[in-house]
Every structure is written in C-alpha cells, then in structure tokens.
Structure 1
Amino acid sequence: MKLRLPKEARYRLKHPLGKLFESTYEAVDYLKTVDLEWLVTVGDVVTAKILEVGLKPDIAIVDLKVMRSPADEDLRKIIENYSVRSVKVHNPASHITTELVNAIRTAAPPLKIFVDGEEDLATLPAVLFAPNESVVLYGQPKKGLVLIKVSRKKKDKFKKILELFEPEQD
C-alpha cells in the first residue's frame, strides 16, 4: 500500500510547514537553544549542511538527488561519510510508501534512510513518528530550511494533511 498526493492538493505543501530559516546558521543557532529528543533531516542539502556544522542527525533521510538531479560529488561524500547504520527504501515521487513509513516508525537512531525514488514527502511521516520535542528539518527550495518542532498539535495537523492523500496498491 502507498499513498499518493493528488495534484490538486499539492498547493498545501508549497508553503513552509514550520519555521523558515533563510540560512543554515540561523537554524543551527536556534537548535542550540532547544532540548531535542531527535534531530531528523529530510533532504540531501539539509542533511549535508547540518553535518558540515558538526551536528549529527538522529535520522537522515536522503535520496542522493537535489531538485531531482543527481547530488554533486561533495554532497554525496558528506552524506556517505556520516558513518551510521543505513537502510534503503523505495518511494516514488508524490508518494509515501509503507516501506518508507515503516523505516521511520521503527528507526533506532542514529540511522540514514536512503530513498530510491524521492524523499520530499518523508517530512510527513517523520513528524508523525518522531518523539514529541524532536525537530524535523527539511529544505524549502530557493528559500531556506524549515524547522518543525514535533508536538501533539503538529502531529494532528500532519494527520489532516495525510487525509488529502489517495491510497494505491503497490
């Protein structure tokens, strides 16, 4: 089973789902002021930037692509050199697969999840399954990093977003 985001619902995800930071350093400065359960990064650029400043994500979800093109060698090396256990899952564009959800839901940090397909929508299950007081970071193309502080209220909001998705058979 997998869920597909219909074209008519995509506008709901075009705007930041949390606090937008225009620079990595602003986001890192903020992260240093809060106690976190987990730090979850979604996306290659965000993950690499967080690793470059010395932070270690509890869960890093990547697809080795940037804007649907292969990530450059430097970015790939930063991600690949983050030496933690990893799993590979399949997740096509505009979908959330059971395989991706299960990898996030059962994650024992630290963990890298390599997505064969696209990881863009992984933010939704990451928020749903990360413990409260965790932070999920993802990139907002051409704008910056979006930081979501996980709470019961955020989880409820993200469940409502998932209701827009349509179920499909694998």
Structure 2
Amino acid sequence: MTRDDEAPTLTADEQLLVLPDDLRHELKEPMGPIETDAERLLETVDGPVIAIGDVVTYHLLQAGHRPAVALVDGRTKRTAVDEEIRDAVTEGASIEVRNPPAELGAPVVRALRRALAADDPTTILVDGEEDLVALPAIVAAPENASVVYGQPDKGMVHVTVTDDHRAEMRDLLERFEGDTERFWELLEG
C-alpha cells in the first residue's frame, strides 16, 4: 500500500475517468438512507451486497455477513485503518489493483466486473482509493443488489440498485473528465 505522498499512477491506457472539481460537492450528499447499525441495515437487504470501504466492510463482517464484493484500501478518512480492521477486511483478498484518488481506472473497473461475475465472495484490495467505485458498482450491480458505502462521521449509506439509481449514476459518470466511451465498454462488456 502506498502512503498519501506516494499516490499510485496509471499509464495512459489504464486511466479512464477523473472526477472534476465541480462535481465533488454533488458526491458529498448520500445517495440513499444512512444507517449506523449493520445488523439493521442487513435486515433490509434482498440481494447481493457490494461494500465500498474498509470500515463498512468491517461492520458487515462483524454482523456476520460477508459481502459478495468488497473494495478496501486500508484507509479511512485518509488515514490508515487500525490493524484489527485491516486484517479482517483484507483476509482472503483475491484481486489487487491500483486506482489513484479521484479517478476510476481500467484496472479497478475490470476488477469490479470480475468480482460481480464471481460465484464466491470477492475482496478487491485497492492501492490508492476505492471511494468512487460506488458509482460504477451501482450501474453494474444486479437489480435489488445493495451497494453500501461510508458517509464520513455519519454511518453507512445503503443504495438498493434500481433502474432509477443506475440512470442517475450514468448521468453523473458522463460528467467525469476522460474517456467515457472506453469506460462504458469496460464496465458493460
């Protein structure tokens, strides 16, 4: 894992989308209801769970639920998670990729597709940042899947995937800078 001063970079052919500064404020608003209790959140789940973030993944594991897909980076709020969380969420990590902060690169998009298609729970260990992967996860996840990500100092945001959510995320991703055409080709096959 790299430190903040050693942010990973991607080659030109790996780089896809970059979050423009004018979209950052839109991503601060939660995309679904916020829950602080993982067991209560899981009571409303009716499909596979895609967990974005170390602390979210840890709370789901502590509640006895291994997400179908988990994306972790060893950090929370830009600092390293403690050893207990890191060990719990990285145990059995099966895919390792680089993804720079504020970007969605080809390696993480390919890993997400692979994980969603896998029969067994899959953990993707990201060198860099995994936060933005919630957006393509909502687009690519099956109907009624749950995408759960952390809202700093608030709790876990639970998005039940619907066509409306997919359309909203598509619109948002279209406003990113970069090669959107190649992004969609990789995400949707």
TM-score, structure 2 normalization: 0.81
Q: Point out where structure 2 has 5 or more consecutive residues left out of the alignment.
A: 1-14, 180-189
Distance 2:60 2:42 in 1: 11
Paired residues of 1:4 and 1:96 also in contact (CA < 8 A): yes
* Equivalence map 1:1-150=2 (5 Å): 1-21=15-35, 23-25=36-38, 28-36=39-47, 38-81=48-91, 83=92, 86-107=94-115, 108=118, 109-150=120-161
Query: Secondary structure, in 3 states, of the residue corresponding to 2:30?
Result: coil
For residues 142-165 of structure 1, the C-alpha deviation after alignment (integer angstroms, 9 at most, x for no partner) is: 111100001111111100010120
Which deviates more from structure 2 when the two are superposed, residues 85-94 or residues 139-148? 85-94
Query: How does the TM-score come out when normalised to structure 1?
Result: 0.90
CA deviation after TM superposition for structure 1 residue 32, in Å: 2.0
The number of equivalent residue pairs is 163
* Shift of residue 129, structure 1, vs aligned partner: 1.1
More strand by share: 1
Counterpart amino acid of 2:97? Answer: V
Partners of 2:44 and 2:154 lie apart in 1 by 23
Q: Please give the alpha-carbon distance, in whole angstroms, between the structure 2 residues aligned to 1:41 and 1:165.
A: 22
- SS of the residue corresponding to residue 15 of structure 1 reads coil
How far off its partner does 1:35 sit? 2.0
In the alignment, is the contact (CA less than 8 A) between 2:41 and 2:158 conserved in 1? no
Q: Is the 8 A contact 1:24 1:50 kept in 2?
A: no
Tell me: CA distance 1:17–1:92, structure 2 relative to 1, closer, same or farther (3 Å). Answer: same
- Using a 3 Å threshold, how does the CA distance of structure 1 residues 131 and 114 change in structure 2: closer, same or farther? same
- Give the partner amino acid of 1:31: L
- CA RMSD between the two structures: 1.6
Higher relative helix content: 2
Shift in Å, 1:30: 3.8
- Aligned-pair identity in percent equals 39
State the one-letter code of the partner of 1:20: I
Q: Aligned pair in 2 of structure 1 residues 163, 33: CA closer, same or farther (>3 Å)?
A: closer
- Alpha carbons 1:39, 1:57 under 8 Å: kept: yes
